[in-house]
Amino acid sequence: MTAYLIKSVSVVGAAPTDLLIRDGVVAEAGAGLTAPDATVLDGTGLVALPGLVDLHTHLREPGREDAETVESGSRAAALGGYTAVCAMANTSPVADTAGVVEQVWRLGREAGLVDVQPIGAVTVGLAGGQLAELGAMADSAARVRIFSDDGHCVADPKLMRRALEYVKAFDGVIAQHAEEPRLTEGAQMHEGEVSTRLGLTGWPAVAEEAIIARDVLLAEHVGSRLHVCHVSTAGSVEVLRHAKARGVKVTAEVTPHHLLLTDAKAETYDPVYKVNPPLRTATDVAALRAALAEGVIDIIATDHAPHAVEDKECEWAYARPGMLGLETALSIALDVLGPQWDLIAERMSRAPARIAGLDGHGADPAPGVPANLTLVDPAARRTIEPAELASRSRNTPYARMALPGRIVATFLRGEPTVLDGKATK
Ligand SMILES: NC(=O)N[C@@H](CC(=O)O)C(=O)O
Ligand SMILES: [Zn+2]
Ligand SMILES: [Zn+2]
């Protein structure tokens, strides 16, 4: 195993120091380190962050390997500065058995680019009818702790209650896609001024807020952990603020796109902007940014949702919802938050690692800590070219935009997965 000596790097924004990476851990930190056997990397101007952790990634394998595979999504993740991703269960077959989650986990190990932690489905086939084998998935080699029907809402309150009760035994968490299905029938975009003008059926904010309100009350009632996926409205923030003040064990995520883009993008009729929950208003964006700074929203999660060309380059109404996120998330975070490195490390690495219970991730680079880290060049700007992305899909909403920041290197347990901005395998 090669050792790496990173010279003059700022660890999470602190004054420059040297980091020696050896045998999978950060062996030493301090000024003026030497190590004759180590490969030296110049860290001048770079910031070292704990490897990013994505709590919400769609890898599409098994079933839609034309859109993404565990390997291609892992490569996209490493290039985005991630060392761990949680893979959503809406694959085909659905990840609702020990067999499927173990398969995804094994494919992640084989690719060896990030730790792939499978998420298990809450209900059989994501159909919302009966609980999946949560215990068997928790006991499997994949050690599943997060369960989600993402793509669908666990709409039945009794099933949601049972799921919350069930996962308590092993400190699991239910990650809810908060969407009251009766309020979003036929929905194409955010319900508001723009949808009225375009004549498209709207997805009202209350469809999200009503489910979050119900679920925080259920979580409080049973004393279980709830995680809310892709929070998108100002009203949801208020419900979460209230629940947290009451001591409910609820955590929440926001996506990069909901922090940056608004429903005005629908005026282009370009389905690259079609996503669930939909892009909202500038008022919502401002509330989400404030909630993220304050901690009412705990983390940034990408909801990386690759889709094949035929599912995106068609009429708006027929296009699948979702957009790419892994390779651009840190740049959007930098754009939105500025160089607040401690906040970025907290929202994109430490907190998601805690919520997911991922040992060895989410710890700042320091002696003895597993060497899961990423090096960022904050001064660099890059123009996003969809054809150059490592994802198998091309549905980025940031095409040809110039974004701040570039991932220079990523290490997974001391092995570089990215060097000089390129994947090592
Ligand atoms: N976000 C999306 O618009 N789509 C996701 C599902 C989901 O996250 O709800 C997908 O799997 O494509
Ligand atoms: Zn969802
Ligand atoms: Zn999703």
pLDDT, one tens digit per residue, over 151-187 is: 999 999 999 999 999 999 999 999 999 999 999 999 9
Taken in order of first residue, the domains within the chain and their CATH numbers are 4-47+367-423 (2.30.40.10), 50-356 (3.20.20.140)
Residue 1 has pLDDT above 90, yes or no: no
E-strand ranges in 33-80 read: 39-42, 47-50, 52-57
424 CA from centroid of ligand 3 (Å): 28
| Per-residue pLDDT at 179 | 99
- How many percent of the chain have pLDDT more than 70? 100
58 lines ligand 1 (CB under 6 A): yes
CA of 37 to the centre of ligand 3 (A): 44
Beta strand 39-42 pairing with 47-50: unpaired
* Phi then psi dihedrals of residue 378, to 5 deg: -75, -20
Q: Which is the closest atom of ligand 1 to the Cα of 56?
A: 8
Q: Is the CB of 303 within 6 Å of ligand 1?
A: yes
Is residue 18 flagged as an active site residue?
no
Question: What is the pTM assigned to this prediction?
Answer: 0.98
| ipTM of the predicted assembly exceeds 0.85 | yes
C-alpha span between 114 and 44 (Å, rounded): 25
The verdict on the CB of residue 325 being under 6 Å from ligand 1 is no
Q: Is the pLDDT of residue 82 over 90?
A: yes
Confidence of residue 138 (pLDDT cuts 50, 70, 90): very high
Are 59 and 116 a contacting pair, CB within 8 Å? Answer: yes
- Residue 44: pLDDT over 90: yes
**What's the mean pLDDT in 205-230?**
99
pLDDT per residue as tens digits for the range 283-323: 999 999 999 999 999 999 999 999 999 999 999 999 999 99
pLDDT digits (tens, 9 = 90+) for 229-243: 999 999 999 999 999
Mean residue pLDDT across the chain: 98
- Using a 6 Å cutoff on CB, does residue 397 contact ligand 1? no
382 CA from centroid of ligand 3 (Å): 26
Q: Please report the atom of ligand 1 found closest to the CA of residue 179.
A: 9
Element (H, E) at 348: none
pLDDT for res 188: 98
Measured CA to CA, the distance from residue 9 to residue 197 in angstroms comes to 51
- What is the pLDDT, as a whole number, of residue 344? 99
Here the contacts of 307-312 (C-beta below 8 Å, separation 24 or greater) are: 307/67, 307/393, 307/395, 308/64, 308/66, 308/67, 308/393, 309/393, 309/394, 311/67, 312/271, 312/272, 312/393, 312/394, 312/395
What's the pLDDT score for residue 244?
98
Q: Which residues are annotated as a binding site for Zn(2+)?
A: 56, 58, 150, 177, 230, 303
DSSP 235-295: HHHHHHHHHHHTT--EEEEE-HHHHH--GGGGGGT-GGG--SSPP--HHHHHHHHHHHHHT
Angle at 172 between CA 342 and CA 206, to 5 degrees: 75
The per-residue pLDDT for 403 is 98
Cβ–Cβ < 8 Å for 222, 294:
no
Annotated binding residues, as ranges? 56, 58-60, 90, 150, 177, 230, 276, 303, 307, 321-322
Q: How far, in Å, are 67, 166, 232, 314, 392 from residue 64 at the CA level? A: 6, 30, 27, 18, 11
393: Cβ below 6 Å to ligand 1?
Answer: no
Q: Is the C-beta atom of 275 inside 6 A of ligand 1?
A: yes
Separation of CA 38 and ligand 3 centre (Å) = 41
Ligand nearest to the CA of 305: 1
Which atom of ligand 1 is the closest one to the Cα of 306?
12
Using CA atoms, how far apart are residues 406 and 376, in angstroms rounded to an integer?
Answer: 6
Ligand nearest to the Cα of 393, by number: 1
Predicted confidence (pLDDT) per residue in 4-15, tens digit = 999 999 999 999
What's the rounded mean pLDDT across residues 364-385? 98
Nearest atom in ligand 1 to the alpha carbon of residue 307 is 12
Q: Which of 149, 215, 298, 303 is catalytic?
A: 303
Tokens of 260: 């940056």
Neighbour-count burial of 159, counting CB atoms closer than 10 A to its CB (0-12 exposed, 13-18 middle, 19+ buried): middle
Angle between helices 157-168 and 205-222 (to 10 degrees): 40
Ligand 1 site-directed mutation target among 150, 312, 393, most atoms within 8 Å of CB: 150
Query: How high is the pLDDT of residue 148?
Result: 99
**Burial (Cβ within 10 Å: 0-12, 13-18, ≥19) of residue 131:** middle
Region 20-44 average pLDDT:
98
Q: What is the mean pLDDT of residues 237-252?
A: 98
Ligand 1 proximity of 321 Cβ (cutoff 6 Å)? yes
pLDDT in tens, 61-79: 999 999 999 999 999 999 9
223 pLDDT exceeds 90? Answer: yes
